[in-house]
Structure 1
């Protein structure tokens, strides 16, 4: 009986029309898109920030979301092979959180999944700028604890991660914006971020 429920769950997951249907579940991501879309040079040429205006109501597909988080800090080869560089070949010292209508999640690149932290829709609470709350997804970048490595290299890592999100979003026909003005305490409490960690930036991602 347990196996039947598992099979039904994965069938349901595979037929989800959009990410907001993943209510009260961890989200098992699909393989990222690595072949279609614009070229890297075209994406760089067209890179720009989202306008400070409302996003459309269109949500990214599971494939698009998978591609975006993978671009930010996913595995692209065996061993310690990441889509962005981390100093001295270390594991990521930045955590990627994702806010969706269905809740708040922590990205696990090793398992290629989003782990559910809260089933509350907190998109409108992430920042005071109204346009940010209209995005169907908001990425939150926070350090994993503290220490010399984190304190010295965190901003460089987040710079690489956020630029990758810009390029991936552009290649998918989406828009994003690097934001450093946000409701810090709200996000800390929502995501249960420890006192030794700190949030560096957020990025609303969607269609405009």
Structure 2
């Protein structure tokens, strides 16, 4: 689904953070559309995405912590692959509400995609690219009547272990998404 929702100006007017979530999961169509809006392929001929990426590195990977497990989005095949078969939502942040949000997106940087870039620039580009994707989630949230909050307060090292990330991956940010509670 690539149409629907409100106007861009309407979505910007409604853009806000919320920390109260109903336990109701997102239906499959809403989840798929949210992920496409966040960082989906909108130009199949080039593989370019809905959010810009420095030098088109596309180093950000979207992991989804849901009640039935942790998944990673594989955009080329447009599918979710189960990574961990347990509920890791509580591990995605230090705030109490994260465990009850039906979806926590964890933005992970794949460092090897950042060609010979020094560490400060890798951190900068990772933060920049993550921000673009997160803002797309905020705009989708507004257009489709959901709630969200981006969160930097998390134990990145412990979360990386729980997510079974490899040495080439770094947790950048988490974002809770769901229906208003």
1:91 CA drift (Å)? 4.1
What's the TM-score, normalizing by structure 2? 0.89
**Higher CA-based Rg:** 1
Aligned to 2:49: 82
Offset from partner CA, 1:66-110 (integer Å, 9 cap, x none): 11111221101121321011122x241111100111100111111
What's the TM-score, normalizing by structure 1? 0.78
Q: Are 2:11 and 1:37 aligned?
A: no
2:137 to 135, 153, 165: 165
1: CA distance, partners of 2:123 / 2:173: 15
2: CA distance, partners of 1:96 / 1:166: 15
1:152 CA drift (Å)? 4.1
1: CA distance, partners of 2:87 / 2:32: 20
1: CA distance, partners of 2:32 / 2:86: 21
> Whose RCO is larger (CA < 8 A, sep 6+)?
2
Q: Are 2:111 and 1:139 aligned?
A: no
1: CA distance, partners of 2:84 / 2:170: 19
Kindly indicate whether the alpha-carbon contact (under 8 Å) linking 2:42 and 2:49 is maintained by their aligned counterparts in 1. Answer: yes
| Number of equivalenced pairs | 173
Offset from partner CA, 1:144-175 (integer Å, 9 cap, x none): 02541634411110110000000112211101
1:46 CA drift (Å)? 0.7
Q: Are 2:79 and 1:107 aligned?
A: no
2: CA distance, partners of 1:57 / 1:174: 12
Structure 2, unaligned stretches of length 5 or more? none
The structure 1 segments of at least 4 consecutive aligned residues displaced by more than 6 Å after TM superposition are: none
Aligned to 1:68: 34
Structure 1, unaligned stretches of length 5 or more? 1-32
1:128 CA drift (Å)? 2.2
Aligned to 1:195: 167
3-state SS of the aligned residue for 1:58?
A: coil
RMSD: 1.6
